[in-house]
Structure 1
Amino acid sequence: MHRVAGYMAAGWIALAGAVAAQDNPVVVELFTSQGCSSCPPADDILAELSDREDVIPLALHVDYWDYIGWKDEFAQHAFTGRQKAYARTGGWKMIYTPQMVVNGVDDVVGSRPMKLNKLIRKHAAMPSHVALTLTRDGEYIAIRAEAQGGLRPCDIHVVRYTPQEQVQIVRGENAGRTLTYSNIARSWDVVARWDGRSLYEGKVKVGAGAPVVVLVQDPEDGHIVAAARLR
C-alpha cells in the first residue's frame, strides 16, 4: 500500500433504451496507479466487480506516483483532487493507493476483498431515496431523478469510462509487466446541481453508444445517493 500524508484540504472537484437504478447499485471507486506495485491485486478485484450488476466499479488513476519512473497514461490530477476531497470529508489523515471508496462514504484497502464485500452488502441494504433513470438518445443521454425522501441539494455527475485496456509497463515499480485495467474513468463532469426535491430532467451529450455512469452525490459529505449505468 502506497500512502501520501500531509496534503492540503481540497473542496469537491468536478471531474465535472431506459436504465433505472431500481436495484440500488453500489459505487466502488478505486484510486490506483500504473506506477504502484501494490495496485495490481486491487485492479484485478475491480475487474471481477465489473461483471456484477449490483455494483458500479470505476478506476480513477491518480498522478502522484508518476515521479517514480513511470507516467500513468490514464492519470488525471482531478482524480487526485477527488481522493483528497474524500479524505477531507471522511476525516482521513492520508490518501493512498490502492484505496477503494464505497458509495462515497467508506474506504478500504483495495486488496482486501472480504472487507470490501462486507461494505458492499452494507450499502446495498440501505434504502434508496432517489429514483434515477437514464435513457440513451443517439449521442445524448436523458437523465431523470426523482426524490423519494428528504435530500439536501446534490450534484449530478456524468462519468465516461473505458471498459478495459491493456498496458505494457516498461519503467517504474511494475516494469516488465503487462497489466489489464477495467472501467477506467476517462472524463468526469458535474453537469448540474439538483435541489433534491423537485423533479430533475436533463440531457447530456456523451457520444453514441459510449459507456457512461451517472451519479447523484451529496457535495457536503460525499455520499452517493443514487447511481445508474449505460454500458
Structure 2
Amino acid sequence: MIVSGVFGGGGINKIMRFVKLSIVCVVVALVAIASIKALANSPDTRNVSTPVTVLELFTSQGCSSCPAANKFVRELDGAPDLLTLSYSVDYWDYLGWKDTFGKPEFSEHQRTYGKQFGGKVYTPQMVINGEIHAARFTRKKVRTLKLDNIPDIRIKARDDGIDVQITPQSWLDKNWTVTAVRYRPGIQSVPVKRGENSGRTIKLANVVQACKEIGKIGGRESFSTQIKSLQPGEALVILVQDGKGGPILSAANFVP
C-alpha cells in the first residue's frame, strides 16, 4: 500500500527500473574513474625519437675559441635525425670567468672520450657518435657517420619516474655502458663579464644539465631501470656505448 501510494500503480516495476538505472550509473562512473586513473598511470611513449647522428660539443664560456663552434652547433640544431648536445667544461674557470653551466662531470665525460682518442682533450671539441673528434667539422662531415641504433631503446615517462628499457640482442656479446643525459632544449644566452670573452654574450644550443652513467650491459642480459622525472623544461637522452667512452651504438631522445 505504501509503495503503491508513493509510486502509483505498478510501483514495484518502477522501483526495479529505478534501481537498475542507479546501478548502471554507478557502473559507468566507476569505469570512467578507472579509465582516468589508467590514463594517468600509463606510460607516455610519445615524443621519443631515435637520432642517427649525435654531436657532442665540449665548450667553455671562458674560451675565446669557442664562440665560433657554438654558432656552428646552433645552426645545426633542429636538422632532421641530428641531435646536438653542449657540455660546458670547468677546467678553464681559472682564466677569470666561472662557466655558469660548467660541471666536473662534463669535464670527466670529455676525458673519458680523450682516453679513446689518445689523450686529446681541448675546447672547442666536437665528438660525433663517439667515434671521431675535431675542433670543427663541415656540415657534410657531420652527417657522414650514422648510428645503426641497435640495441633498441625504449623510454616511457610515468607520473613517478621514467622507465628505460633496452631490448636484448641475444646474438651479441656486450660490454656496453648506458648513460642518461639531461639537457635543456633550445638556445641559452649568457653575458660574460670577465675573462677571454668579457663583454660577449655566449649562446649555446641544447645545454646539458646532467650526465650520468646509469648502468652496464654485459653478456646477453637485457637492461631495465627507472630514473627520476625530468625537471620542467628538461629533455632526456639515453646513450648506449660500446664500453666507457666508446662509439655510440644507439640513442633515444625524449622531449616532453
Question: Distance in 2 between the 1:190 and 1:218 partners?
Answer: 13
Question: Distance in 2 between the 1:153 and 1:20 partners?
Answer: 29
1:62 aligns with 2:86: no
Higher CA-based Rg:
2
- Would you say the 8 A contact 1:138–1:208 is kept in 2? no
Question: Distance in 2 between the 1:208 and 1:57 partners?
Answer: 20
Question: Distance in 2 between the 1:33 and 1:226 partners?
Answer: 27
Identity of aligned residues (%): 33
Q: Which residue of 1 aligns with 2:39?
A: none
Question: Distance in 2 between the 1:206 and 1:170 partners?
Answer: 34
> 1:159 is matched by which residue type in structure 2?
V
> 1:185 is matched by which residue type in structure 2?
V
Question: Distance in 2 between the 1:165 and 1:22 partners?
Answer: 22
- Would you say the 8 A contact 2:53–2:128 is kept in 1? yes
Identify if the C-alpha distance between structure 1 residues 199 and 98 changes in structure 2 by more than 3 Å, giving closer, same or farther.
same
Question: Distance in 1 between the 2:173 and 2:53 partners?
Answer: 18
- Would you say the 8 A contact 2:50–2:253 is kept in 1? no
Q: CA deviation at 1:142?
A: 1.4
Identify if the C-alpha distance between structure 1 residues 205 and 121 changes in structure 2 by more than 3 Å, giving closer, same or farther.
same
Q: Which residue of 2 aligns with 1:175?
A: 198
Q: Which residue of 1 aligns with 2:138?
A: 113
- Would you say the 8 A contact 1:160–1:206 is kept in 2? no
Cα offsets for 1:18-45 (capped at 9, x unmatched): 2698755221110100011111111112
Q: Which residue of 2 aligns with 1:225?
A: 249
Tell which deviates more after alignment, 215-224 or 170-179: 215-224
Identify if the C-alpha distance between structure 1 residues 97 and 223 changes in structure 2 by more than 3 Å, giving closer, same or farther.
same
Identify if the C-alpha distance between structure 1 residues 187 and 208 changes in structure 2 by more than 3 Å, giving closer, same or farther.
closer
1:46 aligns with 2:67: no
> 1:104 is matched by which residue type in structure 2?
G
The count of residues paired between Structure 1 and Structure 2 equals 209
Q: 1:150 aligns with which of 172, 191, 214?
A: 172
> 1:113 is matched by which residue type in structure 2?
T
- Would you say the 8 A contact 2:62–2:93 is kept in 1? yes
- Would you say the 8 A contact 1:152–1:195 is kept in 2? yes
Identify if the C-alpha distance between structure 1 residues 32 and 22 changes in structure 2 by more than 3 Å, giving closer, same or farther.
closer
Q: 2:104 aligns with which of 64, 67, 77?
A: 77
For residues 1-231 of structure 1, the aligned pairs below 5 Å read 17-18=44-45, 23-92=50-119, 94-110=120-136, 112-114=137-139, 117-118=140-141, 120-124=142-146, 127-148=148-169, 150-163=172-185, 164-195=187-218, 197-207=220-230, 210-220=234-244, 222-231=246-255
Q: CA deviation at 1:122?
A: 2.9
> 1:63 is matched by which residue type in structure 2?
D
Question: Distance in 2 between the 1:71 and 1:178 partners?
Answer: 14
User: How large is the RMSD of aligned CA atoms in angstroms?
Assistant: 2.2
Q: Which has the higher helix share?
A: 2
Q: Which has the higher strand share?
A: 1
Identify if the C-alpha distance between structure 1 residues 49 and 136 changes in structure 2 by more than 3 Å, giving closer, same or farther.
farther
Normalising to structure 1: TM-score of the pair?
A: 0.81
